[in-house]
Amino acid sequence: MNLVWQELSAANDVTCSPMHPIAAASPVLDPTIGIVVCIPSYRRAQLLRMTLRSLAGQRTRRRFAVVVVENDAAERTSVAVASDVLRLQDLMGLCVVEPRQGNCHAINAAFEMALAAFPQAAHFLMIDDDEVASPDWLERMLRAAETSGADIVGGPVWAKFDEDEKRGLRDHPAFRPAYDASGPVPMIYGCGNCLIRRHVFTRLGLPAFDLRFNFLGGGDTDFFARCRAAGMRFYWAADAVITESVPRSRTSPAWLALRGLRIGAINYHVQRRLADDVGSQLRLIAKLVALLPFSLFRAMCLALTSRKALIALHPIIVATGSALAAFGFEPQPYKASKIIS
């Protein structure tokens, strides 16, 4: 099988490291492609098929390729789906295997392979394997990048729930997009719907996502925080919509509480990493001390506006997660479940 991967690499003029063997590829790979969509995947084969179909149905004249990363070297169910789609020439691209488990390993492999396989690509987008892109998503993201001149563009990911009675959770901070309107923004926080220009990777270096966030999550928030610290510009494209399938297991109070604790831990670690002197570290400690009482005020405001306990409790849970992380206690959901998003 290694020989097959080597032949695929040689035939398509693709640089392929032993760590990221090519498991599937379209009959033709054009290295002059200027746009690449990256998709990390782990054991969500049917959802991945829907993701790829949504990309194949994009309303655009722009030529683009996809890079799928299979993060389950044992089962390789994502490889089978990607192979079907690429073999039928619905999309141009390739699928590689990242045997090292974890969120950051998979996403880093996607970006690294995309950069190597398509050396003339200037724009790199990302979508998760449980998401579906709206028909004009690609075109709107690229137009936003071109008209704004921003280094990084983000867009909304709207939750699609398995059960109708869960729709009220769309307003929960765990599911609601960061911004409502298009325009320049201070920063984006997630990579489930984003566009990154090539020079961003050149400037910040590879691997893009810090492996300290591999099992906690939040490698994307840390990456974008470092981009902001480097003076890069962000833009929000509110009309470049992606929808995300949310199963019942991710709507329970226990899951939402764990998500809040994880967000708090991520916030702490991102800020702690950027606090590189005594003054900034003292300010971070003061912020943590003030965060818990402030979260009570925010919770009361949300209780009045949302009238939903799960939404109102979120700020308190996030603040608690930050405080616990400062003492070394934090959830690591990706280590337990080994799920990508």
pLDDT tens, position by position, 167-207: 778 888 888 999 999 999 999 999 999 999 999 999 999 99
Single-letter residue type at 19: M
Q: Which CATH class is domain 2-249?
A: alpha beta
| pLDDT > 70? residue 7 | no
> What average pLDDT does the structure give for the chain?
87
| Distances from the Cα of 257 to the Cα of 169, 205, 251, angstroms | 13, 34, 10
User: Is the predicted pLDDT of residue 281 greater than 60, yes or no?
Assistant: yes
**Is pLDDT at 276 greater than 80 in this prediction?**
no
Q: Is the per-residue pLDDT at 6 higher than 50?
A: no
Does residue 52 register a pLDDT over 80? yes
Whether 20 shows a pLDDT value over 90: the answer reads no
Look at the alpha carbons of 232, 148, 57, 155 in this order and tell me if their dihedral is positive or negative: positive
β-strand pairing of 234-236 with 157-161 = unpaired
Tokens coding 272: 């702690």
How many other C-beta atoms are found inside a 10 Å radius of the C-beta of residue 84? 13
Determine contact, residues 127/56, Cβ cutoff 8 Å. Answer: no
Written as six digits, the tokens of 27 are 């009959």
Where along the chain do the CATH 3.90.550.10 domains lie? 2-249
Q: So what's the pLDDT on residue 66?
A: 98
Place of tokens 């194949």: 56
- CA angle, residues 123, 159, 115, in degrees to nearest 5: 20
| Beta carbons of 38 and 67 less than 8 angstroms apart | yes
Question: Model pTM?
Answer: 0.87
Mean pLDDT for the stretch of residues 30-57: 96
If we measure between CA atoms, which residue out of 246, 247, 241, 245 comes closest to residue 133? 241
